[in-house]
Structures are given as structure tokens and as C-alpha cells.
A and B are shown apart, each in its own frame.
Chain A
């Protein structure tokens, strides 16, 4: 399976040195090396101290052990069934091991479903087959089945993913596939999670194009010009489908719920970097907070799981640099 990440991609834990280098690079571009070169050197050290720690932190999924599922704060390895399923060229029986949340008892329980799949089947197809033929009580959130509506986020083999984008045969290990709800969001029923907090975080950052020419905005007479270069500054960050995978994967927000989180912050940068936006530095004030950009420890897991290549981790570091740049400019 080929992956297509559009923006500069960040990587999980071993990322340590890169953000620091990025700091130096951009700061020296902005201010020129000189006195500030040594300042940026100090920032490298700070960067290493702050971000280095995150390299040691567990993130939500284990890259080397996809069967490990996070229950509470512990990783538990779920053993697969031993026997190999009979398989022919076109059809294959696969066991869907679904972690179901029962709202009445507030408990998580595993349930196995064995279903027939073919080489095109996605995990969502499988779940909908289960619902239609085996167990109509299974709750799943889904809609477009083409990776653009952001409904079907769940944890597949220990990794936050969109069910409609995961091919069953490529994902199954020893004839089975592990599925659980995103435990980084409050649970509603089975695989369905509650997005109220997630939406609230997004809304709190004022995610809309701010303009002062309101009559032109709502009764337009001509377009706002924008060059391709200006477009490309924010374009990668506008791909966010609000699926919630990044929040599920973020080690910070899962231990400190007051953190604004990767999705909302990436959208702050999206509007900040848009040449048509007039909010300017006001957007930075909103995020220059302990629970804003400075809570991000750059584990990079948000960018690792983003199905649309948004790279929230990068957006947050860019915001940090804008904040610092703004402070320096003020001193000058």
C-alpha cells in the first residue's frame, strides 16, 4: 500500500533532533545568523530538552507492536487466535475482534465476528456486513466511505485509522483484525465516540476567515486575489476532515484535557497563514498559552496518524515560531 503524505511529514518518537534544527533554520532565515545565531543555539538546547523528553513517552499506539491496545493507561497485548483461516484466491474468512462499549454498564467487552471478505473489502465494509447479517445491534459511525467525511475514526490493530480507508486483507494478521473505539474520546456506544469536546475545542479557537469588510464578505462583488504561493502556505493544513484521530493519538491531551490539542491548533495556523485573513497576530494571542502551543511536546503522533497528511505537529511548531518571531519583533 502506497502512502501519500502531502505536507512535510513528522515522525513518531525518533523525531527528537528535527524540530530543533527547524528552529535554527527558520530563525536564521528570519533574523540572519549573528547575535541571534547564538540565541537560536540556546533555543536548540531548549528544544532538545523539551522535545527530547517526549521521545521517551508512550504514545497511544505502539508502532512496533500493533496488537497492543491501550486500556486506561496500560498497554495490553491481545493474543490472536492461533488457527489459520481457510483461504482461497478471492474470498477469505477474517475474524473481526471488536471492542464494544456497552453504555448501560459502562464497560468494554471484546466480541468476535467471523465474516467473509474479498480483496477489496475495507474494515468499514466488514463492519457493515456484520451489522446487516450477523448483529444489527453493533453501533458504528460512518457516511461517505471515501475518506472525506471523517466519520469512521476508530482504532484498528492498535492504530487510530479511518475504517473506510483500511483494506481488510492488508490489515489482518493471522486471519484476524482488532478494532476498538477511539479511547481518547468519551465513549457513546460500541465504536461510536462523543465528539462534543472535540468540536468545542475547534470552535474556541475562532476558526473562521476574519474580515472587516463585512458587506463585501456577505454580498461579494469580486474575489480576493491570492497567488499560488500564498495558497500553498495554508493549503496542506486545510485538508483537516475533523475525524479526531490526531486527538486520539496525542499523548498530551490524553493526560491533560485542558490542552487545546492538535486539530484545533492546526486550524489556527490554517487561518493564520491564509493571506485573506485579517485577524493577524490576534490569532497568536489565543495560542501563546501554556495550554496552547506550549503544551505540545512534539511526539508527532498526531501527524503520524492523520489520514489526510495535515501534519498538525508541524503546524504547531510553525505557530510556536510565529509567536517567538512576534516577541522578537516587539523587542526590536
Chain B
């Protein structure tokens, strides 16, 4: 087993990971030796699929906007579960990050004054979402990648899959990694680590996310005994294309698109009189499912999926081509539907993991509810939970989150390195144990096809842990997941080869998804209220008296434990949420 020594190892190459690499490099005067480890090619991380834009108050004097208003919108959108100190940090730094991406080459759409154009987004009371057509994440990723490859102190390890997080007490030691191309194993032994692996929406069958969004970083932390936070809050994006789940950006509604039911009515008038289609995502998703349950949906015969219409025809070809070209291209290529001429079939799909690795305000990973910090370990972007989105994220806040905490973690880690002489020693018995883990999986002598487990898990989550939940459904999901976990011990790998063994990679991902799906389900079962993205029939209302707190979930020898942490409230007291 090869052992590589670095100052910083960054797991994940999305917007958060690459941003952190740039700032950590700058903050150490390009002296820190940094490794970026990614299971994909670095420029192909799921951040490329972000479409609509990035939030930030850029021209307050022109738009009558303010940081406080952005913070208020975000907190109200979060159904008051967001930590308000984190939200204030987000809105304060977001404008600077939009400018940073301008400075590294993102092709922002511009207005007549050569300024960055901003569009309306759900739950935002003023247009404050900067965008580059409907490929914002893609342009940000390309700019970041091009910036990072020119840093001589940063090495990128493409297609390296991390399978263990190594800790010594509450101290980060390194990562065990498998190189997909050769099958060889290596340990990245580093003074500090950043986990930036994104979300876990692939635990669902109908999802907007890439096949790679399997929550690997969250699972690594969870398996190592560290806590996750607020896992019950999974965002369902209202408008995913039926039947393939590809995201149709919220910007389609931001630019003026309508949602209509089978009778052609703009039904959002019933659910959010003022904001209509631009209500926050949890509200729009529930509205769509309510319409479908009331028999006002349409049905796609082949998949049996019910849907409603997203109508963009009145926007006209010019607006669609200038501001929404990719969704037009996708609808044409995948469904042979041109949104200029026909409405699009859409329904809610798993989109974003609001929960994640439990961190403090600065993205440092926590070892318990509120006291102990893991030395030398950060978790940023979607995989971390600061928590800035609470129980429901507003569209376009995720890209600002990745950029803001990418910079924070990069700078923090530079300070940390100044104070830290050496990484904790890598003990020999750990190296030996890690070197046997992969062959143990390859040698499994069972009979179950792991892909069967994956598809069963995805179906279970889609059926029982979706937009509306009931205790009974959640119990069913819990039982089914524990059956699948047992079944997983009895799997068989057809591919025993060393070189580019994607069968093995898939099995490691399925293992991760099983653990995370269990955490989501147990947290959902535990929360006896409806808040943000978590809507449960038995407790239809928000309960601030008992449940204005984060769920903290962790693995113990006896099973899964759940604890709590109070929400940080600074200036905005919880109020009824009306749009």
C-alpha cells in the first residue's frame, strides 16, 4: 500500500472542493502541498449540472436589495431551522464570490450597463440570482478547473475512490483510496482534510442528480462514528423532466414560466397566492403532489409517472434561447419536445441533501452535538451541514454556499497549518487493516446482485420517503432498508479484476447509500412535526416549542443514535410562513 504525504487532502472536485484548493493555496503562498482526490475526472463533478444561478446582493442601490433581506428570505425559506449566524455569513460573502467567479472567467449574462444580470428565484423577494444562461454550475466548474490546473502545488488525483476516513481519536489522519484505473490502493496521509463530496440524492429512483451523487463523504464520516445533521430534510425539486428526472431549472419559472394542471389552471394560486410559481421548492413540490393526488395531474404511460405541465411557450423563442438554452436542448434531445412549442412534463424529484456532515460555523467537522471539534477536518458544500439551508434550501443559495465555505475552509486551513507541525502518525495496524478491506469485498462469496439492492433501495425511498410522508410508510422504509442491508452482506461481485473495476466502485457506493438512506429514514421517523421539506401526515404543523432543533444522528455499537442541537437565532424570530 502506497502512502502519500500531503499538507492538505481535499476529497471531491466540485465547486466547494476546487474553490477551497485555490484559496488554501493562496493563503499559504502556494507553499502547502495539496492533493485533490476525486472519483471522477475533476471537471465532471455534479456541480456542472447546476443550472439556474448563484445568489448574492450585487447592486443593492439599484435593486433596493439588502443583505438583511437576503438573510431574511433564506431564513424564512429554511422554515426557521437555519442557523442564523451561518446565514449572515453566507449573505455577507456571497456578492464577493460572484465577483470572484467573474474574475476567473465565468461568462455571466450581462445587462445593458455591462454589469452582471440577475434573475428572480423561488423564495427570493428580489431578483438576486446571477447566472450564466442555464449552465451556471458548468461555467463555474470550468473556470475553477482551469484555475486549479495552473497551481503547481496542487495535484489532482482523478478517478480515485475514497473508501475510509482515518482518524486518531478526534484527529484527522488521512484517507484510504482506490485508484480506479489500476486498482491499486493508497493512503493520503495529511495534516488537514476537506470533505466536499456533494449530496446523496441517488438513494432515490427519481432524481435530478448525476449517477455519482452517492453521498460518499457523508457515509465515510458516518461510518467513522462521527455525526450527521438534519438528514430527514431532502429537497425535492418541483420540476424534473418526466420520465428521466433531468432538472428543469427553477429559472424557467424565474423567467416567467407557468405551472399548469390537466385542466390548464395555474394551480399555484391555491397554494402561494403572492409568490405563485416562485414560492420555495418545498411548497411548490407539495402543491404539485396535491394536484396529482386530487386527480388533476397527467400520466406518462410507459413509466406510469404522473406529472403536471411547465409551460414556457409565452416566454418566446428569444428569451428561451438566451436564458434557458440548455433545458431546450435537453427537452429536444431526450423527449423530442420543444418548450418553445409545447409544455414540459415535470414532477418533483430528489435534488438536494439539506442535511449532512455536522459542522460548526466555519465548516469544521464536529465529533458530538456541540462540544468537540475533530482536529484538521472540514466538510463544505452540499455534503456538510453548517446549517445554512435549515429544512429547505432556496434555489441559487447552494452555489453561494459552496463558494463562500470553499474560501472560508481554504483560509482556515492555512491558519491551522501554521499551528500544526505534523500530521498524527499513521499506525501500522491501520495500514494493514486498510490494505485488506477491498480484497475482502472482492472475495465475497454470496449470491445477490448488488444492482438489485440498489434499485430496491431507490424504489423504497421513492415510494415511502418522498414529498409527503406517513409514520406507516417510514416504518415500511425502515424495515425494507434493514432487509437490504442484511442482503448486502450476501452479495456477489462478477468483476474480480483490478483495472477500472466499476462493479467494485458501484458496490462501495451502494454500501454508502444504504447507510445514508437509513439515517434519512430514522431521522424522518423521529421528527414529530412538519417543517420545510419534511411533511408528515400525523403532525401536519410546525412545532417550534418542541422541534426548533437540529437532529444529530450517529452510529454506535448498539445501533443508530439520535441527539439534538438548538438552532442559533440571532435577529429573526420564527413566524408563520406565508407566501
- How far is it, in angstroms, between the C-alpha of A202 and the C-alpha of B142 when the chains are bound? 12
B26 within 8 A of A: yes
* Chain B residues touching A, range: 35 or more
- Counting residue pairs across A and B whose Cβ atoms lie within 8 Å, the total is 195
User: Which chain A residue lies CB-closest to B454?
Assistant: A132
B138 touches A148 (CB 8 A): yes
- How far is it, in angstroms, between the C-alpha of A142 and the C-alpha of B212 when the chains are bound? 8
B244 touches A145 (CB 8 A): yes
B192 within 8 A of A: no
B482 within 8 A of A: no
A269 within 8 A of B: no
A280 within 8 A of B: no
Cβ contact of B146, chosen from A140, A207, A220, cutoff 8 A: A207
- How far is it, in angstroms, between the C-alpha of A218 and the C-alpha of B500 when the chains are bound? 38
A332 within 8 A of B: no
Cβ contact of B103, chosen from A6, A216, A227, A267, cutoff 8 A: A216
Count how many chain A residues have C-beta atoms less than 8 Å from C-beta atoms of the other chain.
Answer: 73
A150 touches B103 (CB 8 A): no
B301 within 8 A of A: yes
Q: A136-B494, A139-B500 are in contact. Are A4 and B99 (CB under 8 A)?
A: no
Chain-B contact segment, one of A12-20, A36-44, A114-122, A285-293: A114-122
B43 within 8 A of A: yes
State the Cβ distance, A318 to closest chain B Cβ, in Å. Answer: 17
Cβ contact of A220, chosen from B103, B332, B501, cutoff 8 A: B103
- How far is it, in angstroms, between the C-alpha of A81 and the C-alpha of B333 when the chains are bound? 28
Cβ contact of A1, chosen from B104, B107, B333, cutoff 8 A: B333
User: Which chain B residue lies CB-closest to A2?
Assistant: B332
User: Which chain A residue lies CB-closest to B101?
Assistant: A220
B150 within 8 A of A: yes
A276 within 8 A of B: yes
Per-residue 0/1 for B142-153: is the Cβ within 8 Å of any A Cβ (1 yes, 0 no)?
110011011000
Q: In the complex, which residues of chain B have a beta carbon less than 8 angstroms from the beta carbon of A195? A: 41, 158
State the Cβ distance, B158 to closest chain A Cβ, in Å. Answer: 8
B110 touches A231 (CB 8 A): yes
Q: In the complex, which residues of chain A have a beta carbon less than 8 angstroms from the beta carbon of B449? A: 132-133, 136
Per-residue 0/1 for A209-236: is the Cβ within 8 Å of any B Cβ (1 yes, 0 no)?
1010000111111111111101100110
A77 within 8 A of B: no
A238 touches B114 (CB 8 A): no
B335 within 8 A of A: yes
Q: A227-B114, A271-B105 are in contact. Are A145 and B502 (CB under 8 A)?
A: no
Q: Which residues of A contact B (CB under 8 A)?
A: 1-2, 4, 6, 90, 103-104, 118-120, 122, 128, 131-133, 135-137, 139-140, 142-151, 165, 167, 188-190, 192, 194-195, 199, 202-203, 206-209, 211, 216-228, 230-231, 234-235, 238-242, 267, 271, 274, 276-277
What are 10 A-B interface contacts by the 8 Å CB criterion?
A1-B336, A104-B497, A140-B502, A143-B40, A146-B330, A149-B40, A207-B146, A220-B103, A234-B107, A271-B105
Q: Which residues of B contact A (CB under 8 A)?
A: 22-23, 26, 40-41, 43-46, 48-49, 58, 96, 98-100, 102-105, 107-110, 112-116, 135, 138-139, 142-143, 146-147, 149-150, 158, 181, 210-212, 243-244, 246-247, 301-302, 325-326, 328-330, 332-336, 338, 449-451, 454-455, 493-495, 497, 499-503, 506
Seed contacts A4-B328, A167-B333, A218-B26; 15 additional CB < 8 Å A-B pairs: A90-B301, A118-B302, A135-B494, A143-B211, A146-B334, A150-B41, A190-B500, A208-B146, A209-B104, A209-B146, A226-B114, A228-B110, A231-B107, A235-B107, A242-B41
